Amino acid sequence: MAATKITVNNDGSIRVEGDFEIVDPQGKVFGLAGRTAIGLCRCGHSANKPFCDGSHKAAGFNDTVVARELPPPKPKI
């Protein structure tokens, strides 16, 4: 298994576990109080962004996730 595992959950958060850090746009690290796994919001309804607070359930967020191959990246000009 990779050092960091990211699981995109159906109808909810993005779970990050393993060796990771989460930083703001200035590079300042979020204090995670020893957590080794965290859920990031992908529904846009959390009151504690970027973290999931469970609001996706009340919001009725619905997105089924199936792993797939992405196309090659476009060349940078």
Residues that bind ligand FES (CB under 6 A): 12-13, 41-43, 45-46, 52-56
SS3 55: helix
Distance CA 13, CA 38 (A): 9
Min CB(45)–ligand FES separation in Å: 5
Min CB(67)–ligand FES separation in Å: 19
- Closer residue to ligand FES, CB minimum distance, 4 or 10: 10
Min CB(46)–ligand FES separation in Å: 4
51 and 38 Cβ atoms separated by less than 8 Å: yes
* Assigned token pair, 51: 């973290």
